[in-house]
């Protein structure tokens, strides 16, 4: 699954990582278990709109809260989890923990975020040292040093395919493409404040307005920072970022592993990407001794380096000032926070109201000290009994996948053997990791939010640099147990199912098999399928990038997946705005394979028994409705537009209608030719 949204690629998550955490009504059957009958709209024919049939009443009665970009079926669970996290974080402040412990760090970070009076009193003081450093940049060598000093491991290809970084370049540390047993550095394009290159280049009226608002926002931030000629500075920054956008690679191309597999030595940077003093850059980034990097988008890195050489120095100084101000804005006075919210919250996402300070502070702690919070969460909220039942369900899904792979007629024996080997060695972790990170060495002060945030960023950066060249941990997790999501990691050949998602409405240890397999079962099936999808198929059983397919098998697979992409392309989510089937392909394959496998696993689990009928709905119907209700949600228009341009996941209503490719669905709901979702048997996409 993938939610940052960040998640397709090195962790392939179920959802885009920005899930709305807001309580919603999810009334279930009379006995408190199973699908939500009150969410359905039975006046809609399943064959015309299965999403509204499953969720139409919920859609009609549900409003998006004023401080959210969206609201979803995941929200009930995310809100419940957030309240649990808030209790843990606020409780840390009364625990009397000793200095230097993670519990004390949690308490002090929360206190520093809640101390608004201190933030206001300090004004611009936290920002002034960085602005002074930037003002002193007088030549290209000093510029290279400044750019290297701002490098961070903030590209997160493990979560939701987050390839975006506001720094000129980004770094990610993960198992190596060709040596998955050791960690390696990956180097990425970057440099944009707006969510993607499309925001700078799209000529539509909406995007033109966004760019005008961005220029206005940049000028406002320069003005608040006390800098003269704010409009001129803003114009320079927007012009520079537009040039950067022109040379960047699209999200769809960035998700192509073969294009990302480029190993450069330190010396290669000077020859292949002239324009930056790379020796100075990497020395400033504490990477001066690193011999090799995987360069993800080499053409973009080359072009961005050229811009460093060709763009006037004053533009780069203003660029660095702007990014420093944006980074520090949450830790400055109210005027900075309000302006940042106005642009990033209201203009970009359509949210009219800021979230309460308490909630923002809890989110900061959870994002900064996630493993420390996760350890507390796992101890308190996830029972061994729930873990055992979830593991049993996973086992059933794995058995079904083995059966389905063995039965594939179009796959050559050699390819099939490799696929089965991947399945056999797949590591599936449920609930939480066997061990948690320590934050020893990270200094957190109860009265220094800006300093805490910068020290935490540096701590995380050096933690990741310290892993380069070391043996990989095969049991590592890339999500905390309190995350309402799931993930597949091709470089580890592993799956993570955090504790937080293993709760109602997706999973109930005492609930009906139909809703459990239609809910969490399709989620688990989704993740397993990533092992063999358009991205996972590039990795072997050890997580190494290797082509283990025959040419004929690859051709058949590509033809089937192209048909699925073409089907997804037909969905128009707003007038003139279509989903890109190529961009969302990995997730769409996973949805299709996941619901197929979960349906088989459900029938295997029933062992020939007939499921209880619920309000006239058979077990099979309950299974499919549970799947449809996984994707229950509403988004603001600005947020939806952003998702279409920047996310590897199709919107929920599109994902719910994956069922139109399953023969069983037609019989279970009496779907006939002439209905909107009807596909002739030969048009139904079949992959695994």
Mean pLDDT by 10 residues, the chain (688 residues): 30 46 36 82 98 97 91 81 92 85 96 96 96 97 97 76 82 96 96 95 94 98 98 98 96 88 96 97 97 97 98 98 96 95 94 93 95 94 87 93 94 95 94 93 97 97 97 92 90 93 88 95 94 86 94 94 96 94 93 96 94 95 97 93 90 97 97 98 94
In angstroms, the CA 248 to CA 541 distance is 32
483 φ, ψ to 5°? Answer: -90, 130
Beta partners for residue 263, in sequence order: 294
Closest CA to 593 of 421, 393, 408, 414: 408
Closest CA to 523 of 545, 494, 497, 546: 497
In angstroms, the CA 193 to CA 329 distance is 14
- Which residues neighbour 670 within 8 Å (Cβ) at sequence distance 6 or greater? 46, 47
Query: In the prediction, which pLDDT does 480 show?
Result: 94
Query: In the prediction, which pLDDT does 25 show?
Result: 33
Query: In the prediction, which pLDDT does 155 show?
Result: 84
Spell out where 97-181 has E strands. 169-175
In angstroms, the CA 277 to CA 117 distance is 43
Query: In the prediction, which pLDDT does 31 show?
Result: 44
Residue-level length of the chain: 688
In angstroms, the CA 308 to CA 240 distance is 10
| Domains in the chain with CATH codes | 12-20+27-82+371-683 (3.40.390.10), 128-331 (1.10.1380.10)
- Which residues neighbour 299 within 8 Å (Cβ) at sequence distance 6 or greater? 247, 249
In angstroms, the CA 326 to CA 320 distance is 10
Query: In the prediction, which pLDDT does 457 show?
Result: 96
Q: Give the tokens for residue 266.
A: 């330190």
């Amino acid at each position: 699954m993938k939610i940052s949204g960040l998640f397709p690629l090195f962790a392939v998550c179920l959802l885009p990582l920005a899930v709305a955490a807001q309580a919603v009504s999810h009334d279930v059957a009379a006995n408190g278990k199973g699908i939500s009958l009150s969410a359905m709209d039975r006046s809609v024919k399943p064959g015309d709109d299965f999403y509204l049939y499953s969720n139409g009443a919920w859609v009609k009665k549900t409003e998006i809260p004023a401080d959210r970009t969206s609201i979803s079926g995941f929200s009930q669970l995310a809100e419940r989890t957030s309240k649990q996290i808030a209790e843990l974080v606020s409780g840390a402040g009364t625990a009397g923990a000793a200095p230097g412990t993670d519990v004390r760090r949690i308490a002090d970070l929360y206190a520093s975020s809640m101390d608004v009076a201190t933030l206001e009193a300090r004004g611009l003081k936290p920002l002034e040292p960085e602005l002074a450093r930037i003002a002193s940049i007088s030549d290209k060598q000093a510029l290279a040093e400044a750019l290297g000093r701002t490098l961070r491991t903030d590209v997160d290809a493990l979560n939701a395919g987050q390839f975006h970084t506001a720094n000129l370049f980004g770094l990610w540390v993960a198992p190596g493409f060709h040596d998955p047993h050791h960690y390696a550095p990956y180097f990425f394009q970057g440099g944009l404040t707006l969510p993607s290159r499309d925001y700078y280049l799209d000529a539509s009226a909406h995007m033109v307005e966004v760019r005008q608002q961005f220029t206005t926002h940049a000028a406002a931030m320069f003005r608040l920072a006390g800098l003269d000629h704010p409009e001129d500075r803003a114009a320079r920054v927007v012009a520079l970022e537009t040039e950067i956008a022109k040379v960047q690679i699209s999200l769809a191309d960035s998700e192509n592993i073969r294009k990302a597999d480029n190993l450069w030595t330190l010396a290669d940077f000077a020859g292949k990407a002239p324009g930056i003093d790379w020796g100075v850059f990497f020395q400033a980034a504490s990477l001066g001794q690193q011999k090799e990097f995987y360069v993800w988008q080499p053409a973009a890195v080359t072009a961005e380096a050229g811009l460093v050489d060709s763009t006037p120095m004053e533009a780069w100084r203003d660029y660095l000032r702007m990014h420093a101000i944006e980074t520090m804005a949450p830790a400055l006075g109210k005027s900075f926070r309000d302006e940042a919210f106005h642009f990033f919250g209201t203009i970009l996402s359509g949210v009219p109201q800021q979230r309460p300070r308490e909630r923002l502070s809890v989110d900061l702690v959870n994002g900064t000290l996630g493993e420390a919070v996760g350890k507390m969460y796992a101890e308190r909220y996830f029972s061994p009994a729930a873990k055992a039942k979830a593991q049993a369900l996973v086992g059933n899904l794995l058995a079904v996948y083995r059966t389905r792979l063995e039965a594939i007629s179009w796959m050559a024996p050699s390819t099939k053997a490799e696929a089965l080997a991947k399945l056999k060695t797949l590591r599936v972790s449920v609930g939480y990791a066997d061990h948690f990170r320590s934050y020893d060495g990270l200094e957190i002060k109860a009265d220094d939010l800006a300093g805490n945030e910068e020290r935490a960023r540096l701590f995380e950066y050096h933690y990741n640099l310290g892993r380069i060249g070391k043996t990989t941990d095969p049991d590592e997790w890339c999500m905390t147990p309190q995350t309402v999501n799931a993930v597949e990691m091709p470089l580890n050949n592993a799956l993570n199912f955090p504790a937080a998602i293993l709760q109602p409405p997706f999973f109930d240890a005492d609930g009906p098999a139909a809703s459990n397999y239609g809910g969490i079962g399709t989620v688990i099936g989704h993740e397993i399928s990533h092992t063999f999808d358009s991205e996972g198929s590039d990795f072997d059983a050890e997580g190494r990038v290797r082509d283990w397919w025959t040419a004929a098998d690859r051709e058949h697979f590509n033809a089937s997946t192209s048909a699925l992409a073409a089907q997804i392309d037909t969905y128009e989510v707003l007038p003139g705005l279509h989903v890109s089937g190529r961009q969302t392909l990995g997730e769409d394959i996973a949805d299709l394979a996941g619901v197929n496998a979960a349906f088989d696993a459900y029938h295997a689990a029933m062992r020939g028994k007939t499921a209880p009928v619920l309000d006239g709905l058979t077990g099979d119907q309950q299974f499919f409705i549970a799947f449809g209700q996984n994707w229950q949600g509403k988004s603001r228009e600005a947020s939806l537009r952003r998702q279409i341009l920047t996310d590897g996941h199709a919107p929920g209503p599109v994902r719910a209608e994956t069922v139109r490719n399953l023969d069983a669905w037609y019989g279970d709901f009496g779907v006939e030719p002439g209905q909107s979702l009807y596909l002739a048997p030969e048009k139904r996409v079949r992959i695994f």
